Amino acid sequence: MPRGSFITFEGGDGTGKSTQLALFLEYLQTHEIAHIFTREPGGTGIGERIRQILLDPACAEMEDMTEALLYAAARAQLAREIIRPAMDAGKLVVCDRWVDSSIVYQGLAKDLMHGRGGSEEAVRAVNAYATDGLIPDVTILLDLDPAEALGRARSADGRPDRIEAKGISYHRAVRESYLSLAEREARVRVVDAAGPPEAVHARVIDAVQQAVEITK
Ligand code: TYD
C-alpha cells in the first residue's frame, strides 16, 4: 500500500485557519477522500493533557524552554500514536499546525520580539528528535496582514480579543517569521487569506493539488 500524504495548515491568529480547515475537510468528505484529521497540541489523550498545561493560566510563569519541550512532547505522541500509523495505512492525514508552529512561535518570532537570534536551530533539533523527522508533504500557510486579521476578530465578537492582547508588533513578527520560512522551504505554500472564505478555499485546493495527489 502506498504511503499516505501528510498535509498541515499554519497561520497566525485571525487568518481564518479554522474556517479553511473546516472547508477543506468538507471538500474531502464530499469527494469521498479517506482521511484523518488531527490537531496539536493535542490529538491524543496524552497530548490533550499537555495542552491543558500549556493553556493553564496558573502556568503563566512557564520557561520558554519548558514550553518548547511540551509542544515537542505532544507532537512526539501524535506522530507515533496517530500520524505514522495512518500514513502507513495509506491514509491522507490533515493536521492543524505542526513543527512550523514551534519554529515560528518558540523560535523565529520570539527571537524577533526579543532582538536576539539562534533559537530556530534548537527548536528544529528538538522537533526532529520528537517527530523522528516527520515532515509534511505540503503545508498551507494562510497569510494575512495582521491589521486585517485584527479587524476580522473584532467584527466576530465585537470586543477586544486575544489578538489585541498580544499587540500588533507580535503578530507582525509571527507573519514575517512564517514568510521567511516559506521562502526557504518549497513545501510551504503561501495562500493569500484575504477575501471571502470560498475564494480562499479555492486557493487552498489549488495549492494542495499542485503539491500532492488527493484522490479517492
Ligand atoms: P491553536 O490551538 O492552533 O489556535 P489558533 O489556530 O486558533 O490560533 O493555537 C493556539 C496557540 O498555540 C497559537 O497562538 C500558537 C500556539 N502554538 C505554539 O506556540 N507552538 C506550537 O508548536 C503550536 C502547535 C501552537
Residue 137, ligand 1, Cβ within 6 A: no
For residues 6 and 134, the answer to whether their CB atoms sit within 8 Å is yes
Question: Residue length, the chain?
Answer: 216
For residues 163 and 17, the answer to whether their CB atoms sit within 8 Å is no
Does residue 216 belong to any structural domain of this protein? Answer: no
Does residue 122 belong to any structural domain of this protein? Answer: yes
Residue 96, ligand 1, Cβ within 6 A: yes
Does residue 125 belong to any structural domain of this protein? Answer: yes
What's the structural domain count of the chain? 1
Does residue 38 belong to any structural domain of this protein? Answer: yes
- How far apart are the CA of 14 and the centre of ligand 1, in A? 12
Does residue 14 belong to any structural domain of this protein? Answer: yes
- What's the pLDDT tens digit per position in 139-173? 999 999 999 988 776 665 566 555 567 889 999 99
- What's the pLDDT tens digit per position in 57-115? 999 999 999 999 999 999 999 999 999 999 999 999 999 999 999 999 999 999 999 99
Which are the contacts of 183, defined by CB distance < 8 A and separation ≥ 6?
none
Does residue 76 belong to any structural domain of this protein? Answer: yes
- What's the pLDDT tens digit per position in 86-98? 999 999 999 999 9
Can you give the CATH number for the domain in which 48 is found?
3.40.50.300
Residue 102, ligand 1, Cβ within 6 A: yes
Domain containing residue 44: 6-211
Q: Can you tell me which residue has the cell 500500500?
A: 1
Residue 97, ligand 1, Cβ within 6 A: yes
- Choose among 153, 141, 215, 147: nearest CA to 178: 141
Residue 105, ligand 1, Cβ within 6 A: yes
Q: Can you tell me which residue has the cell 499537555?
A: 50
Q: Given the CA of residue 105, which atom of ligand 1 is nearest to it? A: 19
Does residue 1 belong to any structural domain of this protein? Answer: no
Residue 170, ligand 1, Cβ within 6 A: no
Q: Given the CA of residue 11, which atom of ligand 1 is nearest to it? A: 6
Nearest CA to ligand 1 atom 5: 13
- DSSP β-ladder status, 35-39 and 188-192: unpaired
pLDDT at residue 16, rounded to an integer:
95
- pTM for the full predicted model: 0.94
Nearest CA to ligand 1 atom 25: 101
Does residue 23 belong to any structural domain of this protein? Answer: yes
